[in-house]
Structure 1
Amino acid sequence: MAEGKPKYVLSYFNVKALAEPIRLLLSYGNIDFEDRRISKEDWPKFKASMPNGQMPVLQIGNKTTFQHLAICRYLGKQFGLAGSNDWEAFEIDMAVDTITDLRTKAVVVFYEPNESIKETKYVQLLSETIPNILKKLEEMAAVNKGHMALGKLTWADFLLAGLIDYMNLICRQDLTANCPNLKAAINSVTSLPASKAWNAKAPKTDM
């Protein structure tokens, strides 16, 4: 890393999930970062030192940052992927919050410890919740010509592209199978040279 620039260290588990949008954004911004992957076995040793006892955590020089959406929003502003005014930022946040709705509703079901209850919950998730949110997301991507907001590349596209493998797994389906505009939004990120370079060197994980 060039002298005078802060060191970036991203701490998370050895999965994509909540950290992958951050990794893609850092790669897009040409930031040389340390991708620190903590095993589940080692996590108890690190948990107390993490803000809120959670990850991802991004160290920027001597500053410790946390909350994946706040980090993504900040990086989006740094790399020209945020709105140019309050209204544009609001449009991006609406897309981000809708993506987050899908993820959080599915996560609750995926991590339900009672298998019988889990399968009952999946019935509603798969028949109602996911189709309803997917419909809205696909409409948003269609209006924005293959992007999630503003009709151009924003950090909302990076959030979707980074989370999609994780969300496919917890939702038990390919969420973009019948959503060509969502697929285009993801491709707008994954087709970037920086994203391709990152994916070529990143550890391979299912989620």
Structure 2
Amino acid sequence: MASYKLTYFPIKGLAEPIRFLLSYGSVEFEDVRVNREDWPKLKPSMPFGQMPVLEVDGKKINQSQAISRYLAKQFGLAGKDDWEALEIDATVATIDDLRTKIASWFYEGNIAVKQTKYEPLFKETIPYFLKRLDAQVKTNGGWFVGGTLSWADLLFIAQLDYIIYMTNVDIIDKYDNLKQLKANVLNVSQIKSWVAKRPKTDH
């Protein structure tokens, strides 16, 4: 049995999909949470000075999506064939596009620029993405791809708290299929157990 150690800040953020996947795989993992004041000392020891970092049997690797894809393959959540794997990857990239656009607005330091970005983001961009993601779930029987759970579903729901934290609104409230997806994911026994025991953070 491989040993897993995940290192990230004490939030859900980009590491929560990895925690969901490790929990789904029913493997024990060390969940190291680094306070921001301690990060500068630790940063030089991390690949490319980034987190999250996963150690598998002592070997360190960075890049959250690459880690998630690797774990998804280990645990049977990467699609039943190459086409489904492609659909899952495309969905993950689309979700990441949405998160990146929201983060670009949220972390904008220039208040005037941030204000100009607000209406296009909330009135156009976010609804554009969510409408299509909602339709995708409807087409696929309550999941993003293939009528069954994949790592795209886990990633979206695991990052939802972070997205809601940035937008300060429940972005899926008007999208019944995405709400059903959330219920489906959180009803998976391993995910339910993780959510019940994980440290309480707002994002």
Rounded Cα–Cα distance in structure 2 between residues aligned with 1:168 and 1:114:
21
Which letter maps to 2:188? Answer: L
Aligned residue for 2:172, secondary structure, equals: coil
Which letter maps to 1:167? Answer: I
How big is the shift at 1:143? Answer: 0.7
Q: 1:161·1:189 contact (CA, 8 Å) conserved in 2?
A: yes
Aligned residue for 1:160, secondary structure, equals: helix
Matches within 5 A, 1:84-95: 84-95=80-91
Q: Residue 203 of structure 1 corresponds to which residue in structure 2?
A: 199
Q: Residue 38 of structure 1 corresponds to which residue in structure 2?
A: 34
Which string of whole-angstrom CA distances, capped at 9 and with x for unpartnered residues, describes residues 79-116 of structure 1? 11111221111111121111111101111111111122
Which letter maps to 2:109? Answer: P
Q: Residue 71 of structure 1 corresponds to which residue in structure 2?
A: 67
Rounded Cα–Cα distance in structure 2 between residues aligned with 1:80 and 1:108:
33
Question: Is the aligned partner of 1:13 residue 2:5?
Answer: no
Which letter maps to 1:102? Answer: L
Question: Is the aligned partner of 1:29 residue 2:28?
Answer: no
Matches within 5 A, 1:24-173: 24-173=20-169
Rounded Cα–Cα distance in structure 2 between residues aligned with 1:159 and 1:23:
10
How big is the shift at 1:185? Answer: 1.6
Once superposed, which parts of structure 1, at least 4 consecutive aligned residues long, lie more than 2 Å away? none
Rounded Cα–Cα distance in structure 2 between residues aligned with 1:71 and 1:190:
21
Structure 1: give runs of 5+ residues left out of the alignment.
none
Which string of whole-angstrom CA distances, capped at 9 and with x for unpartnered residues, describes residues 119-149 of structure 1? 2212211111111111111111111111111
Rounded Cα–Cα distance in structure 2 between residues aligned with 1:185 and 1:103:
18
Which letter maps to 2:58? Answer: N
TM, length-normalised to structure 2: 0.96
Counterpart of 2:186 (choices 181, 185, 190) is 190
Q: CA RMSD in A?
A: 1.1
Counterpart of 2:175 (choices 173, 179, 196) is 179
How big is the shift at 1:186? Answer: 1.9
Rounded Cα–Cα distance in structure 1 between residues aligned with 2:110 and 2:126:
21
TM, length-normalised to structure 1: 0.94
Structure 2: give runs of 5+ residues left out of the alignment.
none
Which letter maps to 1:180? Answer: D
Aligned residue for 1:48, secondary structure, equals: helix
